[in-house]
Structure 1
């Protein structure tokens, strides 16, 4: 296949850059993207590699990106959805499209203010889609973020914590995708 035809195929697929893959001779490619059943990796010199995505699990790529961000102090901070709470202590996010239909949806997030390492009450998320469908989610402690135009709940996982002698280093992270069909676990046991 000529480079010109390959460039047309790549351009026609509408990729979004994800700097995740590496290949022989390159420490990191300039960009990589997953779209449908294809993965495209570009090196800094403009060369591209197109392969079937069946060799690469999209959720694993996403989890690896989150893992890298979690290792950096404040790595997820730029993506957090942070607004002041209303008088009842709820955070209302009214200018967000959760289901991708182009219409505004509403999210209400509520979390107890407990300083305990393992909070006594769970946080809750209530999503009302523009269609009227409601989605409810409850987890021990979580925050919300928007990453690559998608909403995620970032929760703390206490399953490996010794309750008699809690160590913050034993707390892992779970990441859930929030979309029009519900809330789905995409990554677990992240450091």
Structure 2
């Protein structure tokens, strides 16, 4: 075996004409690795971190989902007890226009709470079963609380998505994001 290796190496002679192409080929491979593969490797690491963050968030969501469902059910039961047999319970809307109208009607019925507008989210207008909308209101906080209790008592309210409060001491402005379930029979 060693004689075979000696014979092969004895026949190879490294001349400047032979070494130069090897150096160029080796440097081309090194440049390729540095330019193309290292950024891909770094991007892959950042994607792995993002995937791990999403998995952890999903685990937290799965952990708190039963608690959230139970609290939502208790809040709906409490709001239905407060609303009781009043006329505030509305039928399920059949169209986005009717959903906006019903939200406006409920907001206008709240005493001392001014309705500044109901804005449906443009992306949700094309769906048949859900509508995302934002109510802009102004007034004292206790009236907003009463409106939220009335909204939560509605069987067609899918979820309360967002609540932003801004303003001063006497009058505050509110942005309430809601998701409304519409009747699919329209």
Higher helix share: 2
Relative to the length of structure 1, the TM-score reads 0.23
Relative to the length of structure 2, the TM-score reads 0.23
Higher strand share: 1
Q: Which has the higher contact order (CA 8 A, sep 6+)?
A: 2
Query: Between Structure 1 and Structure 2, whose CA radius of gyration is higher?
Result: 2
